[in-house]
Amino acid sequence: MLVEFIVCVIPMLYGVYLAVLYHLPTAAYYPHTCTLTPEKLARTELNIMMYAAVEFSSFLGVTLLLQRKFGFSPLYQLAFVCETQVRTLQSHLFVWILWILQISLVHNGVDLEAPFK
């Protein structure tokens, strides 16, 4: 259930991140945002939100299936895990978000066109 929840939430968070990053001056240093036009951003955001809707429907489907099949609410299970393991979840999320979002950043002083001697 936690995996379904994460798979559902990550596209939504990425859509918000991309919309915020587009309006920041540092967007010129990210390969995926330096050439974005407002129309292309809108199309990209629409695609991300459609994917998030598909994942949310999958989350609802698994929730309903587990509730009917086993007679318990998976949302209570998810709430219990989120409540009792909040520090672990937040620390993993924080580290991975910092790592993944910064990995595509074009660093200053790097000239990949220069020949190595």
pLDDT at 113 over 80: no
- Give the count of beta carbons closer than 10 Å to the beta carbon of residue 33: 19
Average pLDDT (95-106) is: 78
18-49 tens-digit pLDDT: 999 999 988 888 888 888 899 999 999 999 99
Tokens of 88: 């672990």
> What's the rounded Cα separation, in Å, for the pair 30 and 107?
9
Q: What's the pTM?
A: 0.77
Distance separating alpha carbons of residues 107 and 89, to the nearest angstrom: 29
Which residues make Cβ contacts (< 8 Å) with residue 47, sequence separation at least 6? none
- Whether 101 has a pLDDT exceeding 90, the answer reads no
Instruction: Identify the band that residue 111 occupies on the pLDDT scale cut at 50, 70 and 90.
Output: low
The amino acid at residue 27 is: A
- At 61, the pLDDT band (50, 70, 90 cuts) reads very high
